[in-house]
Structure 1
Amino acid sequence: MFHSRWPLAVTLGAAAFAICSAHAADRQPWKAIAVDCFATFGAPDKADEAKLLTCADGFAAEAVLEALTAADKANAEKGLRWLYDKGSDKSAKVARLGLQRLGINLPFRAARPVDKGAMAQPERQKYDPPEAKDADKKAAEKFYKDGVALLKKKKWKDGVAVLLKGLEKDGRSEKILYNLGCGECNFEGDKKACWTHLQYLSDLGTDYAAELLIKARTDGDYETVREDSEFKRLTGYMRVQVINTVGDVGDPGVDNILKLFDKLGHKKPDKRDDESSPQPSPTIQFKAYTKAQVAVIAELLNDQNTKLEPIDNAASKYDMVIRWGTQIDDKGKPINLGPDTADEAMAKARQKQNKALQQPEQAIGKVNKVLDTPNRVISEAGKMKDRVLGVGDKAKGAVDKVKDIGSIGD
């Protein structure tokens, strides 16, 4: 049985909005574009730079090197070198990362004057409908209740059809967007509609929306898509492993990491010991779609020498692996105890995660900045920390709303 929780109260809403008019242009998985990209790499002078950049980004983040033929590698090198030499500054950075995957380490290319005619990737237009009138909010609430009643009976398509009518009345209703995703992820075939509505929920940028995205990680109605990379990207759901590289002295840090993940609403990480290569600082190994969460976790480990290391999707069953390490003082005590687990610090950590869910582009940008440094260590890119205000009544209220949600079948 699918278990879902439904908000009791409607938040601020918006006027009628045609949901089909807005859409997200997210990067396609590498495996879906690989064949076309290797052909593009093979003739870079005939390709559009935007397409080359898309291919370079996918290759750098997700290509499985062991599966490549000699011809694939040759084409990739040709295309990436062309992009590094002739592309924009942004393209050169991405190409450099791709070439590093092939064992080719080139220096950072000096910035060049901006060519007004050069390729520029347009930013995705965020979902931001206007606020609804009171009468429309009231009508949306009726559609919401009727739609949820159908979803509880697992009449997914009927329930979604009713909820869409509610969204036309109140485009900013977080709970309608959330439950649309619940229904749509249970459709057979393509899950694009589900991703669209979860993306809209993120775009709204409210604390309540962020808390609902966190709730989706454990909501039974999303079980069918939980291992999909798009679901993980949008909600922050991850399979995590924590490896203690320094033995007993590292136990306090590992325990605090586990407490942090619990506070952030994540599934409990697996843990194991491996003292074969003790580390003086942590390393975070991660898959491309977890970058926004990496920005949060990397900061909260409290070590500016934390190293970030991208891994292939096929390299591990885990989405993130934290290899925990710390320096040890003269008395054999750990210098770094990992995340601060005091109540106030944990509340701020939750708020940092909410911000990453609301503004993932900023969080991803921080990680990319670190990846652009020679050793991929946080200190080389400047501190990742942001000033985060204490959690106010608004954020606490968002958490309480989610706690008050009911369940399908109750």
Structure 2
Amino acid sequence: MAAPSPHPLPAELVDLRERVRTFIRETVIPAEPAPGDRMPEQTRLELQEKAKAAGVFAPHARAEHGGLGVPLEHWSPIFQEAGYSPIGPSVLNCMAPDEGNMHMLAEIATPEQKERFLEPLVRGEVRSCFGMTEPHPGAGSDPSALATTAVPVNGGWVINGEKRFISGAIGAAYCIAMARTEATGDHPAGATMFLVPMDTPGIRVGSPIHTVDRYIDGGHPHLHFDDVFVPDEAVLGAPGEGFRYAQVRLGPARLTHCMRWLGLARRAHDTALDRAEQRELFGEPVHRLGLAQSLISASVIDIETSDAIIAKTAQLLVSDPKAGSAMSSVAKVHCSEAIYRVIDRAVQICGGDGVSDGLPLAQYLAEVRPFRIYDGSTETHLWAISRRASSARRREVEAGAPFLGTPTRHPEPEAAPEAGA
């Protein structure tokens, strides 16, 4: 199923979307690893060179940093085409965590930091990771539990702590690490982001965490900081502002996960449609059977509603970033659940082959299942969505909107006159 945009695309982006679509189908899909296998590093590098030659590499990154400069509100059609292959986003250099790090560095980093850390990342010369999540009781769904510390010393900072589930850390050139910092001078206590090269003394990649997904380069290992010294110029942005900067990254990053996985859901749905056209049961093609039609139509609805909410959120992230960040929670919950349902239905329509490695659908299920946990669990987002809805309604009522929660009291009916009165 093609990935139309809910909003008209400029002509040059229509052309880019078509070129990405062609590149993914003709060059990337034939090079995909077998279901459950990881893409070899050499294959990734070779495909990235082909993507550069085809003019489809790093579509989201700003042109001045080496990307194609597609505006955020138009990312979705391009990312969905990339996501039609599970390795497509890595090949086009728009995969997590690098894509989110590129966006944040472009917004916050100094010119010197952009030259050293951002531009090589956009060119695909290095990979990166983002160090937030920690072993319990440290930061996870609740970032305020951040336990890693950074203490100011002469000429810089010393970082101590342990991170876990740091996607992309194996083989990364640097980590954007979050650490708790005390108030210093004009800067408040809170969290601070640091750009830490992975060859800095005291930083160590720890035990890998084996997960069901396979397509994030660099895995999800532990990461240890033992008396890691970084100079003052390693601070990203201002000390004490790390939680605020994290929102700059997390809103778009949640949404781009939705875009990429929606592309994969379209691939699964196309697989199911082809199967339903080819296979016969009880003398009829599967697509003419009512139960199969119910599965197919439900998937179309999930795909279209996901596409629409992604488009709305992307527009908000540009016009009103605070509202867009809040809406990204809604999009993330809806899309993560809907995308899983689409792929699960495709498995069901394909029957026994759907759960075998003859088709890639079972691996697609494994890829998207963690999406309901990554970048904040569904339950955490539901909690936040509910709180925001209640707070917004309370403000409306305080501003004069009618309160609708009290039942209307109707007058008691008059007693009927007695007969013969």
TM-score grouping bracket, smaller chain normalisation: under 0.3
Structure with bigger gyration radius: 2
Bigger RCO of structures 1 and 2 (CA < 8 A, at least 6 apart): 1
- TM-score of the superposed pair, with normalisation by structure 2: 0.26
Point out the structure with the larger strand share: 2
- TM-score of the superposed pair, with normalisation by structure 1: 0.27
